[in-house]
Amino acid sequence: MPLRNGSARTVVVNNRMSHDASVSSVTAIPRSILDLSPIVEGGSASQALHNTIDLAQHAERWNYHRYWIAEHHNMPGIASAATSVVISLVAGATQRIRAGSGGVMLPNHTPLVIAEQFGTLEAMFPGRIDLGLGRAPGSDGVTAHALRRNAGNTVDTFPQDVIELQAYFATPTPEQSVRAIPGAGLHVPIWLLGSSLYSASLAAMLGLPFAFASHFAPAQLHQALRVYRGQFKPSETLSKPHVMVAANVYAAETDAEARRLQTSAQQQFINLRRGRPTMVQPPVDDITALATPEELAMVNETLKYSLVGSPEAINVQLRALIEQTQPDELIFCSQIFDHAARLRSFELLAHV
């Protein structure tokens, strides 16, 4: 029988795994947070950014490893468009946790500008800055044109732009005519992010760490991991593949409350598919009343890699995700309407 919220009780990450999987194998994998600075219905971008800072401070206390900000544009429910600015706010409000982008959409910018921005961040917060790069626009086509204004910087130049960016962070050579100041010689860690085989293959070729966006694009996760691991070439950056897998998390005291919290994210994806992006909506008791069966099937597939439930359920799902993907790191996203509930969700995850 289907649940009232329209989601299947067990999705891929919910498949039970053997109980003899060791606790240490779960707790030893670094966990991080991916934040879109969600703007909720009735709220504001200002409040969303203050919530981001508050969550980052809590995440540091709960020993999360990284706190990444995602670049999106022209989205009424997302306040993280000025990604490097938000990273600066997060890094300035914390002491130890790594702060970075998950990611910067490089085709929207010139490599020199990003090198200067992240060089500045690294100069201000040495040893704590990550630069995750994506090749998608982080927006619709019209918005992408407004960002770029010309076709000179596109996904077709992404590999060359990544290499150029790497050069700006390297130790400068005497003949180098253009330098990122700050940035030159700071060796800011670069990650490639993706939801397809393209970025997996490029990360392998360049010997860079790779993060897969399975929290909203699950279809090619396992194939991308095989490509990345199989094609990886050691570099000065990495001697062996290093994978981060993304998932959503909706944790609460009970399974029912966690499923209710998830309905805010379900509404967000349904409205986006309808071409009417919205602020993050309050949770509902019955998502089936707001969507067609086809829309529910779409959103359940989109959010396939989600940990949803009580701490006990989250523990089982987390072990299954690790068994299936064998990640070096995990990163979690959580579009929850109520800030206190979002904090509690990440707190519960930190302790399972």
CB atoms within 10 A of CB 253: 11
**What is the DSSP secondary-structure string of 125-156?**
STT-EEEEEE-S-SS-HHHHHHHHSSSSSSGG
Question: For 153-174, how does the pLDDT look when each residue is reduced to its tens digit (9 = 90+)?
Answer: 555 899 999 999 999 999 999 9
Residue 26: burial class (beta carbons within 10 Å; 0-12, 13-18, 19+): middle
Out of 24-38, 200-214, 321-335, least confident range? 24-38
Please give the C-alpha separations between residue 118 and each of 81, 114, 183, in angstroms, as whole numbers: 15, 6, 7
Residue keyed to tokens 């060089």: 119
H or E element, residue 260: helix 255-273
pLDDT at position 136 is 80
**What type of residue sits at position 261?**
L
**Torsions phi, psi of 311, nearest 5?**
-55, -35
pLDDT at position 27 is 82
Summarize the confidence of residues 130-140 as an average pLDDT.
81
E strands, the chain, are 31-35, 66-69, 98-105, 129-134, 190-194, 210-212, 243-251, 306-309, 329-333
pLDDT-based confidence at residue 324 (cuts at 50, 70, 90): very high
Percent of the chain whose pLDDT exceeds 70? 88
Specify the CATH number of the domain 22-254+306-350. Answer: 3.20.20.30
The CA distance from 40 to 79, in Å, is 10
Question: For 252-311, how does the pLDDT look when each residue is reduced to its tens digit (9 = 90+)?
Answer: 999 999 999 999 999 999 999 999 999 999 999 999 999 999 999 999 999 999 999 999
pLDDT at position 150 is 62
How far is C-alpha 206 from the chain's CA centre? 21
Higher pLDDT, 148 or 15: 148
Contact 120, 92 (CB under 8 A): no
pLDDT at position 22 is 45
For the chain, the average pLDDT equals 91
Summarize the confidence of residues 3-26 as an average pLDDT.
41
With a cut of 90, say whether residue 10 has pLDDT above it: no
Nearest to 101 by CA among 46, 33, 51, 196: 33
The CA distance from 239 to 205, in Å, is 12
Summarize the confidence of residues 223-242 as an average pLDDT.
97
H or E element, residue 79: none
Summarize the confidence of residues 115-125 as an average pLDDT.
98
Question: For 42-101, how does the pLDDT look when each residue is reduced to its tens digit (9 = 90+)?
Answer: 999 999 999 999 999 999 999 999 999 999 999 999 999 999 999 999 999 999 999 999
pLDDT at position 156 is 80
Please give the C-alpha separations between residue 306 and each of 47, 65, 121, 169, 348, in angstroms, as whole numbers: 26, 20, 32, 35, 15
pLDDT at position 2 is 32
pLDDT-based confidence at residue 1 (cuts at 50, 70, 90): very low
Summarize the confidence of residues 206-216 as an average pLDDT.
98
pLDDT at position 142 is 72
The CA distance from 62 to 347, in Å, is 7
- The two tokens of residue 325 are 């993907």
- The two tokens of residue 305 are 């890699």
Summarize the confidence of residues 216-222 as an average pLDDT.
97
Q: What does R_g of the chain's alpha carbons equal in angstroms?
A: 20
pLDDT at position 12 is 34
The CA distance from 211 to 325, in Å, is 12
Nearest to 99 by CA among 73, 132, 76, 77: 132
